[in-house]
Each structure stands twice: as structure tokens, then as C-alpha cells.
Copies of this chain bind each other. A is one copy, B any other.
Amino acid sequence: MSRPGPIEYSDASPEVRAIFDDIKRTRNIADVNNFWKYLAHDPAGLRRTWESIKQVMAEGALSPLSKELVYVAVSVTNGCGYCIASHTASARKAGMTDAMFAELMAVIGMANETNRLANGYRVPIDAAFDR
């Protein structure tokens, strides 16, 4: 098989189970989503990724909702189907309304457009911005 499949909780090692437990507890969910089940083939990577996500996505100077909006923006720009689906769901859970979703999409679209206008016209950075 060219790629390892998902590892379910019942088949997981104690090390992986402990991480799954922490994900479930932190997010208050019954089971971890597929992303973690695939990553579980690499327990060190699973732990590192989870610890990083937990730290990065926590309430801080930015709210969890703001962070999820940014996550969706990156995923949509990159065209990552899995991440668009999962983080749109997370953003909903964090409070994204239909109106916010529509505005988010509009901003993402506009930024992707003007990024290319700036590239194509080779606009030099204004002195006021370049520092």
C-alpha cells in the first residue's frame, strides 16, 4: 500500500491513545477527525503537530474565531480540500455566521486577485510600507 491508512483508537498504541485523549478532551469531541488518525503512523509527528496546533490556536491576542478565519483563508488559497472542510467546520463552531462566511470568502477572493495585479504590474513597495 502506497500510503498508511487511518489508525483507530482501538488499534492505537498507548502513546497515540494519550494524544487522542488530549485532543478529545481539549476540543470536547467524541472522536478525533481523520487528520489525526492518519498522522498517528508517526507518533512523534502526531505529538509535535498536536502540541503546536494546541498552542497556536488557543485564545490569545487573537480570538479562536479570528484564528479559524485565517486558517480557512490559507486553506482556500492553497486549495486544500480537507482543510477547507475541517476548518470551515471549526470556524462555525467558534461562532462564524453565514454573513461572516460570505464576507470571509469575498476578502479571500479579493486578496488573491490584487496579489496578482500587484505581481503583474510589478508595483514597487511604497517607502512608507517598506520597513
Chain A interface mostly:
helix
Given the known A-B contacts A1-B131, A33-B129, are A116 and B108 also in contact in the complex, defined by CB atoms under 8 Å? yes
Residues of B within 8 A of A67 (CB): 103, 107
**A41 contacts the other chain (CB 8 A):** yes
**A52 contacts the other chain (CB 8 A):** yes
Bound together, the chains give a CA A105 to CA B88 distance in angstroms of 20
Chain A 56-87, CB within 8 Å of chain B: the 1/0 string? Answer: 11001110001101111111111111111111
Given the known A-B contacts A34-B126, A62-B69, A69-B62, are A49 and B114 also in contact in the complex, defined by CB atoms under 8 Å? yes
| Cβ-closest chain B residue relative to A129 | B85
Given the known A-B contacts A56-B107, A107-B57, are A101 and B69 also in contact in the complex, defined by CB atoms under 8 Å? no
Do B76 and A116 have beta carbons less than 8 Å apart?
A: yes
Do B112 and A116 have beta carbons less than 8 Å apart?
A: yes
Bound together, the chains give a CA A62 to CA B105 distance in angstroms of 11
Do A74 and B115 have beta carbons less than 8 Å apart?
A: yes
Residues of B within 8 A of A27 (CB): none
Do A79 and B119 have beta carbons less than 8 Å apart?
A: yes
Q: How far is the CB of A54 from chain B (nearest CB, A)?
A: 10
Residues of B within 8 A of A111 (CB): 70-71, 74-75, 83, 87
Q: How far is the CB of A92 from chain B (nearest CB, A)?
A: 5
